[in-house]
Amino acid sequence: MNSAYNSSYPHPKYNKPSATGPLIKHGSFPVTSLSSLKLFITHAHPCSYLPKAQAATLFVDPAAHITADIYSQLSDLGFRRSGEHLYRPQCESCNACIPVRIPVAHFTPSRAQKRCLQRNQDLTLRVVSTINSPVHYALYQDYITHRHGEGDMYPPSLAQYTQFLGRTWAATDYLEFWLASELIAVAVSDRLQQGVSAIYTFYSPQAQHQARSLGVLAVLAQIQRAQQLGLPYVYLGYWIQNCRNMAYKTQYQPLEYGYDRTWTKQPPVAIMA
């Protein structure tokens, strides 16, 4: 893969949010502007990942002024970004969604991941600052239609695309993967103070590209980018052991698990509804 410089809860649903308490207990985290953030929590709604489970989502006040420092600290507390919204699961009887991150200095690709890199040596990687073009949207539309035709994101729309993947306050890079003149994948990646956050990846669902494992390639490219930027972590979002679509993240080793305001090398015991 040549380089030009060498994504869960995709759509938060407010569902009549109500105010909730402070983000952290006094004294459990360095004194910062986090203490002034207002939080809201949704009413219970069907979980997108675990059948028959009920979920609730905690949101940062959309009117809050978010800085790079605040965003980075919230990422360490298990929050994720979807468009302009920052959220994390806050379910009453379940803690199966565990935030995970890769310490990139210690990452070692598996044999399968090495083969993925070898298969894609004919691709060119470019990092751009916007994906507001018909070419990018057409790829997104094709991906959602063929890969998530029964999910919450179908049918795709330009408004959905812009709100979900656009950014104003986040330092976002878009990693493009080109096969000659064909755009076949895009990874949306936020730069934090302590790493990069893998927000979402969409790619060609066409049969001729399936063997490339483009989702795997996108994660490997973001690990490489974090290493090049001198940033210690890649944040992968939530690992859910009993959900196939989210359990794959343990393929990237070593992995750190966020729980109870700390990060550990061993996964906590998940409590499921």
Q: What is the tens place of the pLDDT at every residue in 157-166? A: 999 999 999 8
The pTM (predicted TM-score) of the whole model is 0.88
What pLDDT does 252 receive? Answer: 98
What pLDDT does 7 receive? Answer: 36
What pLDDT does 272 receive? Answer: 66
Measured distance CA(68)–CA(122) in Å, rounded = 35
- Copy the structure tokens of residue 80: 């994720």
Give burial (CB, 10 Å; 0-12/13-18/19+) of 152. Answer: exposed
pLDDT above 80: residue 168: no
DSSP, residue by residue, the chain: -EES------S---SS-EE---SS-TTSS--SGGGG--EEEPPPEE-SSSTT-EE-EEEE-TTS---HHHHHHHHHTT-EEETTEEEEE--SS----EEEEEEGGG----HHHHHHHHHTTT-EEEEES---SHHHHHHHHHHHHHHSTTSTTPSP-HHHHHHHH--SSS-EEEEEEEETTEEEEEEEEEEPSSEEEEEEEEE---GGGGGG-HHHHHHHHHHHHHHHHT--EEEEEEE-TT-HHHHGGGGSSS-EEEETTEEESSPPPP---
How many residues are present in the chain? 273
Higher per-residue pLDDT: 211 or 268? 211
Measured distance CA(172)–CA(5) in Å, rounded = 15
What pLDDT does 10 receive? Answer: 38
Mean pLDDT (the chain) is: 88
What pLDDT does 115 receive? Answer: 98
CATH superfamily of 2-7+110-225: Gcn5-related N-acetyltransferase (GNAT) (3.40.630.30)
Q: What is the tens place of the pLDDT at every residue in 26-60? A: 233 343 568 889 999 999 999 989 998 999 999 99
What residue spans define the domains of the chain?
2-7+110-225
pLDDT above 90: residue 260: no
What pLDDT does 3 receive? Answer: 54
What pLDDT does 120 receive? Answer: 98
What pLDDT does 19 receive? Answer: 44
Q: What is the tens place of the pLDDT at every residue in 89-137? A: 999 989 999 999 999 999 999 999 999 999 999 999 999 999 999 999 9
Which band of pLDDT confidence, cut at 50, 70 and 90, is reported for residue 6? very low
pLDDT, mean of residues 206-224: 98
What pLDDT does 35 receive? Answer: 84
pLDDT, mean of residues 167-176: 88
How many other β-carbons are positioned within 10 Å of the β-carbon of residue 100? 21
pLDDT above 60: residue 235: yes
